[in-house]
Amino acid sequence: MLFIRFNIQSPTKFEDFKKLYEHMDMVRQPGFRFEEKEPTLVDWENLSKEETDEAYEKLIASLDEDPAQERYQSLMPGYANAFLERYLGVDNEKLGVLGVQETLSIFNYLEYDFEVYLTRLEKQNENFGVIEYSTDNFPYGGIDRFLMVLKAFDLVPSECFDGFTIFDFEWVTDFEYDAIDLPEKTTAYIERKRNET
């Protein structure tokens, strides 16, 4: 079982993150499909000029609607969005002319490219929590962007098992960390998991 342990800096923000976690779990269920809005039928022939103009404006506005953006806005509080914008600002500076990422790209990653099965989100006590997950793929979309999402909710990753090694996170900046391998802890964890099966 893969895991990420984290420090909870704000119980309220942990509750906000639970909503995002539940969404991530929901979209991973077999056969899941997003509900699509039913188009509004307009009886164009029986509308006044004013009603036609209004219906036309609504139709044009609906073409610009992005369901993913709406989901993002409903699940990402302003403070989390601000953190992710700062993170992407730093990342985009590194990318330069290679491309610019936007916060919606992180949400797309959470919904589709983070190829994991979410097993459990648990608040172990007021200060610590853990997410357990599994995958059939490696590198399963990587965890760096997911770590930034956790940090956006003031859930500071402290330890991780990536399938090979348990390591501690030593945060150098808000967006950069050193991963410290824990070989003895890794060996003990793998042995314990083998004995459970």
pLDDT of residue 63: 65
Residue 48 included in any domain: no
Does the residue 101 lie in any domain?
A: yes
135's tokens: 């995958």
Average pLDDT by stretches of 10, the chain with 197 residues: 96 98 94 78 79 76 76 95 90 56 86 90 97 82 89 98 94 96 96 87
Q: What are the start-end ranges of the E strands in the chain?
A: 2-8, 117-123, 128-134, 155-161, 166-171, 177-181
The 8-class DSSP code of residue 96 comes to: G
Neighbours of 182 (CB within 10 A): 17
Provide the residue range defining the domain that includes 172: 2-30+75-196
Number of domains in the chain: 1
Phi, psi of 7 (to 5 degrees): -90, 135
Q: What is the pLDDT of residue 37?
A: 72
- What's the pLDDT at 55? 75
